[in-house]
Structures are given as structure tokens and as C-alpha cells.
Chain A
Amino acid sequence: MEAVKTQDIGVNDLPWKIEYHAERCTMCGSCVAGCSFKAIKVEVQKQSLTVSEGSQPEPKHTHIARPIIKQVASLTDFCRGCGMCEKICPNNAIRPVRNADTRKTLLSKDNGPIKRGGRTNLNAQRTLDSIVVGRISQMTDPSLDAARHTFDIRAPFGRVLPAKDLPFEIKDGKLVQKAKTPPVDWIYPLIFSDMSIGALSTRAWEAVALAVGYLNEKCGLPVRMSSGEGGMPVKLLESDYLKYFIIQIASGHFGWNRIIKAMPHMVTDPAGILIKIGQGAKPGDGGLLPSAKVAEHVQAIRGVPKATLASPPNHQGLYSIEESVQKMHLSMNAAFGFRVPVGIKCAASATSVSVYNNLLRDPYKICGGFFIDGIQGGTGAANEVSLDHTGHPVVSKIRDCYLAAVKQGLQGQIPLYGGGGIGMTGNAAADAFKLMCLGANGVFVGKVLIQLLGCVGNEQGRCNSCNTGKCPMGICTQDPRLVKRLDIDKGAQKIVDYVLAFDSELKKLMAPIGNSSLPIGRSDALVSTDKAVADQLGIQYVC
């Protein structure tokens, strides 16, 4: 007789069930040794049978006890579906299977709201997937040859002045500049964004940074990376590679002591500054770094003891849009002698257009970019309620902001960058292209990068345990035992390969619409199979 109570947690309450084939298992122990979540264990199972082998009932008792691998029925040490067991098993004897009947979310609120990493699991449907590039040059005009044509794939980062405002005069028959203009860099329209030191392991952060170095130095693609809000490695601040990196300042202002201290030792300017107001995955919440990941170097760089670090939901010194523009932009511009473009990142919101209009009115011309982060953005840790129930899709917001600028004749002056779920369904180039046709100057990606490093998390509830510090891939953890699983070179190479393919794919989309430069605002190139989407975005509805 087993002693089980109806309210005991069973494996069927959990989001993943372990499918185990004892007849294939050799008890090599690899799956249990490799599982970072302690979701499986070894147990002895018995079979006590009374059998009869004769031609009449002759009870004969048999008893065998054998070791097996068993799933742990626990709301804390539960299977996340990462599949490390399956990967490691030499005999295909074990794998996690998604459990449709899970009651985990319902039951595991004993310690307050559920926290996790990843993207929204409820709002995974995407506007971009109902849009296709439908305006292809077919006899109307020659399409370009994507493989052989020369394309200009560059996006501005910095405040772009219209021709009439450029401070030129003719002196002695020559055109000379009579005043300073805002700094503008022309960069690759794909920015690696905002994953902090702390959220990522040292190896993962460096793998992304290394890929940036390689893409710039060896592939000629001026890809930029934003630091995230956990500071910057001092060695990078003091190296010439700093020119490829955008330094972020968020509400926690983490890491800025070392950034400022490094200024006298910098050999080049950074690529830019990004003021983070909010992020799409959890608008209204500041950054969150669970104590499990606040290792000694993170404590030191951030200047805090080991603790769960919750950044405030807003910058403590900013109380209005005007103040954000005047005070924060001014300070960040001043920090690097007005030589470095300064952008601002907000979570997409019903209020985004108001914000953009305010930025466009900036009389000092010191706002160098507006980054809008949509609901499908990822995060290393958030309250699940924020992930799944707050936020705003980015697509219509980019469109609205762009059209608001067009209405005022100011389009292109403060570059628009869209992010949040770019590449979620596999093709970041297509997503980027479509967003650019709707008005974005470029896009930013984060989750895709760690997926390239090996992250198996997805929008169907797989893994998403970045907050636990137990990342089986060594990406979102500071545990040396896990961090050292990550191959930094292989990871960086994967990112490089992806971006090179992104570049080719972008051309494959630019060529058929006949654009040799980025198709900013070329919404005529897009059609939608969804009437409501078409109407909202002002593009052709097709079916």
C-alpha cells in the first residue's frame, strides 16, 4: 500500500514529464549527473509478483528490485524541459515531454509571484508573421541581384540634421562647416542589445562581444553591442574595441563607477550611450538580478553585496519626458564631450508616440535614437505576470512613431530602432526588413544571440530558467561548473555566421524590391494577409 495524499505534488502537476525507457537504460548515471535542476534521481523500484507457471494454479512468488531513473515530483526541483538528459543519454532512454495537464503555475505561488526568464508565453503570436514582402519587381522595374549588387546597409545612430539645418557657409569659394553638428555614426542596422554582466555569464557576455569584434574587424560589418545595465568590463573600456560598444545606463546605474574611472584610460570613444527607461519584456519593472547570479565580480563591478538586485522601475532623478531629454541626454552627451551619440530605450507603450514627439521637439538636438522594445522581448528574470500580461507589440508602435515624424517632416532625424522578439520565429533579417519598411532605421536583438550560444528556451515554456542561476548551457549563470560548459569561440562563431547570413538575407529582400539602400518607410513593399493588421499599418491587404 502506498501512502499518497491527494494534495501531494505528482509529476503530472509539472510542466514537463520525463519519458523514461528502463529497458534501454544502462544506468550509466550521465543524465542525473548532468541535470543542473536536480529534476531526476535514481531510485530502486520493485516488482513483487505472484505468478503461476503450472497447468493449474500454483502460486509462486517472485521479487525483483532494480534501479531506475525517476522524475522528482517537486515544485522547486522540477524538470524545465531543457533536454540535457536526452542530449547526454547514449541510448535514447530518456527525454522530457511537455505536459498539457500541468498545474505548476497554479500551485507554485507559495513564495510569492512566479519569477522566470525568457519571453512572454501568452502573447507569442506575431504581427510580423502576417506580413510578407509582397511588392516584388516583376517587369515594372528591374530587381537587383542580391548576390552581386552593391548594397548600402547602414543605419544612422545619432541625431541627423536636415540639409537646411546643416551649418555650412561658403568662404573663399569653399564650403566650410561653421558650427559643430551632432555626432552621427552609420552602423549596421542590427544592434546586439542590453544583456547585462550578471544576467549573462562572463563567457556568454564575452562570446557576444567577441562576435562583435570579429564582425567589425574581419567581416566589415559595423555591428554595435549595448552593454546592458550591469556595467562594462574594464579591459574592454580600456581597449580600442570600445568603439564598437554602446554603454547603457539604466535606473540602477550599475557599473558606472568603473566606467567613469576608466575614462582617463580610454583610447577611443564608445559607439554610443543608451539610456534605458524600460524594457519590453517587463515594462514597469526595473532590472532584476537574483542573488544566485550576483557573484563576486558582479558585486564588485556593480558595487553591491550579494543580494537580489532589483533596479527601480524608473530613473530616480527623472520625473518627466522633458527632464529625461534635457537632463539625462545632456549629462550623457557631456560625459564624452558631445562626441558620442546618445539614444534612449523605452518599452513600447500606448504612449510611445507622445514620447517620440517630445524627443523630436528637443531643441538641443542631443537625442540620437529612440529604441522601442516590444512585448516579445526577452529577459533574464521577471515576474511572470509582467512577462505574460504587460507590454505592447512593437510593430504598430514603430509605424505610428514613424508616421508621426513624417507628418511633421521630421522622419529620419531621430533614428528609430525596434526590438522585442526580432528573430523569434527564426528569421531576424525578415523581421528587420519588415520593420524598416514600416519606418524603423534598424533593429536590436538579444534573445536570438543567446539562442545562438546554445540557449534552448522558447515561448512554449521550455527551460526559461535564466533566473535560477542553473542555466544548463552556462549562459545565464555564474556557477563556474556550468559557465565552463560554454565554448566561447564556437558561440561567437555561431553569432558571426548568423549575422553574415542575416546580411545576405537582408539583401535577398532588398533586391527584389529594387532598393540598394535600406528601405526605411517603404511600406509599399509590404502586404498583409490580415485585414486588421493591413488597415492599422496602412499597407495593402491581400488574400
Chain B
Amino acid sequence: MFKINTMKGHDRMSTQDLLLAIEEAVRQGETEFEVAASGQHDIGGPLWHPEGKTLHFHITNAGQRAGSMCLPGTEIVVEGATSADVGWLNAGGIITVKGDAGDTAGHCSSGGKIFIGGRSGTRTGSLMKHDPLYEEPELWILKNTGSFSFEFMGGGRAVVCGYDSAEFSSVLGERACVGMVGGVVYVRGNVDDFPADIKCLPLDDEDIAFLQGGMDDFLSHIERSELKGELTNWQEWQKLTPLTFAEKAAKGNNKPSMQAFRLNEWVKGGIFSDVAHDDFAVHNTLSTGLYRLRVPSWDNAKFAAPCEFNCPTGIPTQRRFDLIRQGKLDEAFQLELEYTPFPGSVCGSVCPNPCMDGCTRGGIDEPIQIGALGYRSAFLPVAKPSVQTGKKIAVIGGGVAGLSAAWQLARKGHSVTVYDEAEHIGGKLEQVIPRGRLSHELLEAELKRIESVGVKFVSNYKVDKEKFAQLRGEHDAVVVATGGTKSRFFPWEGAERLTMGLEYLKAINRGEHPQTGKHVVVIGAGNSGMDTCRGAYEMGAETVVAVDVQKPAAFKEEIDYVEGLGGKLVWPFFTNKITAEGVYANDGTFIPADQVIVSIGEEPVLDFLPEDEGIEFFRKSWLVPKADQSIAEGVFTAGDTIKPGRLTDAIGSGRKAAYYVDQYVMGQEVKPFPQKQQIPAGRLSKAYFDKCHHCLLGDPVDDHARCVSCGTCRDCKMCLESCPEKAITRIEKADGSWEYVSDPDKCIGCGICAGVCPCGVWSIEDNPEPIKMYSTGAKA
């Protein structure tokens, strides 16, 4: 028997001295210990007898951690109460506390048994564990525990008998079993506060067998065997055990889903239901139909091709090539005659072909041969108009503007008469353009074709005020297309010496051989200036010099021709005075000449128009027509009477005037002359067209393969074959024309059709269809 009193008078033995003395006694073979302690810690463990005998401790006035790290084979009895942490990390000892235990009793114990004959403090049984190699730990408590009991418990069995604890709302204190993951707590009495992941269950047979089996031992250790009857009414017991890991996972979140909350508990229909009509369906990022961000449209011929746009006459050459591509050659050639009566004389001969300057194909290799194609319509007969309207129209002036208007009006079935003061109809084509530039046979053939549709020509007919009034009275409408007939010049010193270029050229074309000097200066180096130079050489001049204030505006081939004859061009040259010796510029430059011809353009002579109808003029010479090209009631105008222009400008102007005259005489509502925007270059896909290196251009008709068909469907099917949703179909109509249609129920609005269309026919635009989602909130 190792018996020790740790107090000697007022001297207290230190924990260290006591534990070392006990350890030494154990090593000497001692098994029985009677310790009158004075608060020393850790009495009772970890100790083991050298021969494996059981060690018995009887302790009074124990300090903290009595029986800490106790090994199997150690039995401890604490008389009365003990301090905190009794049985801390108990690994197998049997520890009995006859009175109350302090906080954290049985903390981290994973073996042995702890019997407490009273109450225990906070965090009792926390972090108890069970090592499967050994028996599970037990912690028996007669009465109740403090709060936070059995926190983080991982194994073992705890028994809280609830004796003498009726006053407590919970015999386990507040917030018991928080973080508990294993083991079981048997409890008798009130338990009202434990986490949601702890199950509280009635006892089963195994539980009762365990408790039944252990109760006697417990009560005898704490010497309260008389309580057995009171504590073994198993109906009063229950057990707390944590959900298993699998059960926790299966239990999951018991809150309602957000959708359920919205539908069942949130403001019905949503808080915006008075102003926003929403079913809350979630759309895919991509949609078809109404919810597509963008929609394609097949805008065939919505835009003008550059050739069409740049042609003042407005000839849609891309349509001619489309017809050729379809094998409809005749229709293609006829199509041009719907726009001009002079495909040969103008398009194919004297026109500078601005259409070709704009040609998209020119940006790849060479422009399409549009001028040459025009020649293919030169000698083509046309059908007479099928109906006659009975409307009579007088055209004053037989130049290209007047003839263009007459041609259009006659083909609509009106009765048209062209009056001209000259002997021959044809205006500048007939009177001024050198025959070398324009075949006279061709011109005559095209003039005859105009007559063939019913246009009457009246020549040698000079219109004055009186005749004008008469014509106006006899016709439903009058078109004034007398052009520019008076050569313009500035009041230079010696201007009286000038020869008027227009008269000079007219005389040549009449075969009159007008008087011509040896050394001629032509003022003006435009195309008509070049015509004048050419005429002067033909009339016998030895030298011809053309002067201009700016870079000569004539076509290169015209300049080349004149220079080939020996002519010279001088610019900038600001004419100052004209003498018998020649021409002076304002910088003193002098060019000797015995004849000076002025060719800087013409202005109209319109003295036959009435003076009291408020007809507007520009610089007293040119007419300022209204939007419908009328200048007075029933009187329209076209061509150089409005402003000086090229022949093609005059043809276009005549065509436009005819459009309004027709509406006028037919008494129709005035609709503006249809004009298309030029197709933006970015819409076209030129990449399909391989650049032709050093290629020889063939027959213009064969250019249908090279033509990009800007803005007009060439029926290549690229869109149809490329659509990822197979949304596009081609619909052929009875007349052989076709249409491509995109099915809104399939189309996602990707715009591949627009991207791959060589012609820029497909557009992809923001979906224009409104979606009625919002309102003011007005009640219906």
C-alpha cells in the first residue's frame, strides 16, 4: 500500500513530486495507492505494473485530469467531487467519481469506463472516440451534464441517467451533441436542444441489453445500487445518435427550391406582372422564329448594281447577264431597249461608259464589257406598242433627250410627235459628233427604230412663242428638249473674233466645209473641244492647239486621236484677249493663231416659252424644273435645257421626263421616279471570283460568267447549300422566275446566307418583329 498525504502542515507536495513518487512505487511493484491529494493533476495515468497487475487508486481531493491517459489495468476511485477533465484521453482505466465531476469529463476518452455519481460540467464527453481495435469507451453519469455536452463525439457510449434533474429543461444542457459524428448518448429525462443532424430515438433491445448489463456495475461503483429500480424504466429513456454520413448526404437541403418559393410563396405572377408579361420560361441563347436576334431577308434587286447606279440612263446590266445566264439572249438584248433607244449609237459608240468605271469586276481584274454589249442591241427590231392611249404629246427638240422621252412615251402607246428646227432629226448625234466617231448608218438605223414604234418626226420646224402655244393647245403634254444650242464664251477682249464651235461642227456635219485657218486655237479641251480640233484638221488646218483652264476633261482616246494628228493641249491657260495674231493668256503667254474657235459648252435658247407662267431659270439660261420635271402645266423638260450633260445624262433625263409625262397624261397620282441605292460594296462576296491574270476578254456576251451580279440573285444556291439549319428553300414560279425563302421556324438568324451570298442579295438585320412584353400597367 502506497499511502501518501500530500500536505505536510502548510507545505503542499507539487504535482511533479507526487507523480514521480507514484511512478517510482509502481516500478517497485506497488499496486495499491491511497492518495490524500491537494489538487494535484493527472493522478492515475499513464501507468502500468511491470507484471501486469491491476493498479488501484483511491484519491481524495483530486485536481484536474484525474485518471488522464489511463491504461487498462488501472482502477481509480475518487472520493467526493473532482475537478475538470476527469478521464481525459482515458485509454482503458475504470474511473469512478463518487460525487460531481467538473467540466470536460471524459474528454477525448477512447477506452475504459468512467462512472460519475453526480453531475458533470460543460463539454462533458466531448470528442469521445472509439478505436475499433479495442472496446468502446463508456461514460456513465448519474445526474445531468452542463451545456455543449458530447460536442464532436466520434464514438463510444455515454449514459446520462437524469436522476435528481427534473428541474432542468435539458439534462444534457444547451446545444448538446453539436458536431457529433459517431457513438451514442443514452439519456433519461428532458432533452430539448440538439442539432438537426442528430437523431433522437427510442431504445431498442440491444440498447436495453447494454444498459441493463452495465447499470448494476455503475451503481455499485458509485454506491447507489438502491436507485436501480428508479433508473431502469426503459420507457423513460431515449438515445441520441448522429445521422450517418450516408444519411446526411441523402437528407440534403430541406428548404424549398427557388422555383417552388417563387410559385407558392412569392408575389403571385411576379412583382412586375402588372407591367411585364413574362412566363419566366428560360430561352436558349439561340432561338428560332420570333426570338431570333436577327432575321435574314432575300432582298433581290433591292439595290442597284454599280453599273446600273452609275449609268445616268439607269440600265441594269446585271439583269441582262442574268437573262443571258438563263439562255434568254433575246430578252437580254431587248431589255436594254426598255431604257434607251440608242444602245448602239450611245452605249456602244460615243458613251464614256461610266457603268464600267463603277463595275465591281473592275476591282477584281477588268470591268465587264458593257459598252460592247450595248452594240448587240443596236439593230434589234422592237414590237409596236400593243395598245394606243390616244394621248398626244409634242416633243420640241429632236436630240437624244427629246428622242429618249419620245421613245419611252411612244412605247407606252401615246401618240408622239418630235419637232426640230434642223433638217435632220438627231440633235448632236446627227449634227455635231464627227462621223468618224459615230457611224451614220448606225445612227440612222436607230432613228428609224424610233419611228418604227410610232414616233412622228417633224423637221425644219422652228418653234416660237406662237407655235409653242399652238402645240400646247393641240397636245396633252409638251416636252421641251431643245438642249444647248448657243456656244458660250466670256467677254474676253476681242471676243468678236471668235468662231462658235457648235456652229462650226454643225457646218462640217452638213458638209459645208466652213472657213478654217492655218493655225487654229480651240478654247476648251473637253470632248467637244476635241471634236472641234478633229474637225479643224479635217478642214485643212496645219496646227491646232486646244487650251483649257484645267486638266482636259476629254476622254483619253479622244485626246490621243487629236495628238496623233499633231494637235497640242495647253493648260492651265486663262484666256485674256484674242487678236488677229492669236490668243493671250492672263500671264502673258501667247499662242499665235489666225482662227480661234470657242468650245466651252452651250446654253439653251428658250425664247419660245411663255413669260407669264413663272417659269424658273438658273442664270437666266437653264430651266429649273419641279420634282416631276415639269416647268408649267402640261409642259415638261429634259436634257441640256436643265443643265449641260453627257449624252447618257440626256437619255436618262428624257426617260425620267417621260415617266412623269405618262402619269400626267394618264391622270395618275404622281409617284416619284424609282431610284435605287447603290449596293454597298461590303455586301458583295468578290472572293468567289478568281482574278484573271493576263486574260483576254472574249465576247461581251460571255462576260455573264465574270459578272458578279451585284444586288441581283444569280441563282447559284450558295445560300441554300450553306444554311446550317437547312432553313432555305428555292421556290420556282410559273414564269420561270424564282425566289429563295428562309423558314422562320428553322432559321436561327446566323446570317451565313448573307455572308456567303456573292451578290449581296441576302440581308441580315435586327429582328423587326416586336415582342409585346411590357405595358404601362393599365388594367384591361
Contact = CB atoms under 8 A, between A and B. Distances in A.
Contact of A27 (B178, B722, B775): B722
B776 interface: yes
Contacts of B286: 30, 33-34, 88
Contact of B267 (A148, A236, A492): A236
Contacts of B691: 48
A206 B291 CA distance: 22
B724 interface: yes
A487 B283 CA distance: 8
B305 to A, nearest CB: 18
Interface in B232-251: none
The B interface, classified by DSSP as helix, strand, loop or mixed, is loop
A45 B767 CA distance: 27
Interface in B247-279: 255-259, 261-262, 265-267, 269-276, 278
Contact of B273 (A33, A235, A487): A235
A210 B756 contact: no
A304 interface: no
B292 interface: yes
Interface stretch (B349-357, B417-425, B629-637, B682-690): B682-690
Interface in A10-49: 26-30, 32-34, 36, 38, 41-46, 48
Contact of B258 (A3, A33, A67, A214): A214
A36 B269 CA distance: 29
B272 A29 contact: no
B270 to A, nearest CB: 6
Size band of the interface chain A makes with B? 35 or more
Contacts of B270: 202, 206, 235
B124 to A, nearest CB: 16
Contact of B724 (A28, A63, A65, A239): A28
Contacts of A514: none
Contacts of B592: none
Q: Which of B272, B693, B725 has the most CB of A within 10 A?
A: B272
A210 B258 contact: yes
B155 to A, nearest CB: 19
B280 interface: yes
Size band of the interface chain B makes with A? 35 or more
A301 interface: yes
Nearest to A32: B750
A432 to B, nearest CB: 24
A531 B709 CA distance: 73
Contacts of B84: none
A209 B271 contact: yes
A193 to B, nearest CB: 18
A50 B287 CA distance: 43
Interface in B565-615: none
Contacts of B255: 218-219
Nearest to B259: A489
Nearest to A258: B777
Contacts of B696: none
A41 B282 contact: no
B748 A42 contact: no
Contacts of A481: 287, 291-293, 767, 771
A484 B291 CA distance: 9
Interface string B679-708: 000000101101101000000000000000
B751 A29 contact: yes
Interface in A203-220: 203, 205-206, 209-210, 213-214, 217-219
Given A213-B266, A217-B265, A492-B258, A33 B687 contact: no
B687 A27 contact: no
B272 A202 contact: yes
A210 B722 CA distance: 45
Nearest to A482: B293
Q: Which of B255, B261, B273 has the most CB of A within 10 A?
A: B261
B744 interface: no
B745 to A, nearest CB: 15
Interface stretch (A108-116, A167-175, A292-300, A397-405): A292-300
A484 B756 CA distance: 30
A84 interface: yes
Interface string A230-253: 000111100101000000000000
A46 B751 contact: no
A206 B282 contact: no
A235 B687 contact: no
A65 B687 CA distance: 6
A34 B291 CA distance: 11
B285 interface: yes
Contacts of A528: none
Contacts of A295: 773-774
Contact of A296 (B178, B748, B776): B776
Given A44-B687, A213-B261, A33 B750 contact: yes
Given A30-B286, A42-B750, A235 B274 contact: yes
Contacts of B256: 218
Contact of B752 (A27, A45, A299): A27
A485 interface: yes
A33 B749 contact: yes
Contacts of A147: 179
A67 B755 contact: yes
Contacts of B519: none
B363 interface: yes
A483 interface: yes
A486 interface: yes
B258 A43 contact: no
A33 B773 contact: no
A301 B775 CA distance: 10
B196 interface: no
A234 B274 contact: yes
A488 interface: yes
A54 interface: no
A236 B271 contact: yes
Contacts of B284: 485
Given A29-B752, A33-B292, A42-B752, A67 B272 contact: no
B531 interface: no
Given A481-B767, A486-B282, A29 B724 contact: yes
A33 to B, nearest CB: 4
A205 B775 CA distance: 17
Contacts of B179: 147-148
A30 B273 CA distance: 32
A318 B460 CA distance: 89
Interface string B759-780: 0000000010001011111000
A493 interface: yes
Q: Which of B262, B271, B292, B724 has the most CB of A within 10 A?
A: B271
B277 to A, nearest CB: 9
Nearest to B288: A33
B281 interface: yes
B752 A67 contact: yes
17 contacts: A26-B724, A27-B722, A29-B750, A30-B286, A33-B293, A36-B293, A42-B755, A43-B685, A48-B691, A65-B688, A84-B285, A206-B272, A210-B261, A210-B266, A234-B274, A296-B275, A297-B774
* Nearest 8 interchain pairs by C-beta: A42-B755, A29-B750, A297-B275, A46-B687, A300-B776, A33-B750, A63-B690, A233-B271
Interface of B: 151, 175, 178-179, 255-259, 261-262, 265-267, 269-276, 278, 280-287, 291-294, 363, 685, 687-688, 690-691, 693, 722, 724-725, 748-752, 754-756, 758, 767, 771, 773-777
Interface of A: 3, 26-30, 32-34, 36, 38, 41-46, 48, 61, 63, 65, 67, 84, 87-88, 147-148, 202-203, 205-206, 209-210, 213-214, 217-219, 233-236, 239, 241, 295-301, 478, 480-490, 492-493, 496
Given A42-B756, A233-B275, A484-B281, 19 more contacts: A3-B363, A29-B725, A30-B286, A43-B755, A84-B285, A88-B285, A233-B271, A234-B275, A235-B270, A241-B267, A295-B773, A295-B774, A298-B774, A481-B291, A481-B767, A481-B771, A484-B291, A485-B283, A489-B258
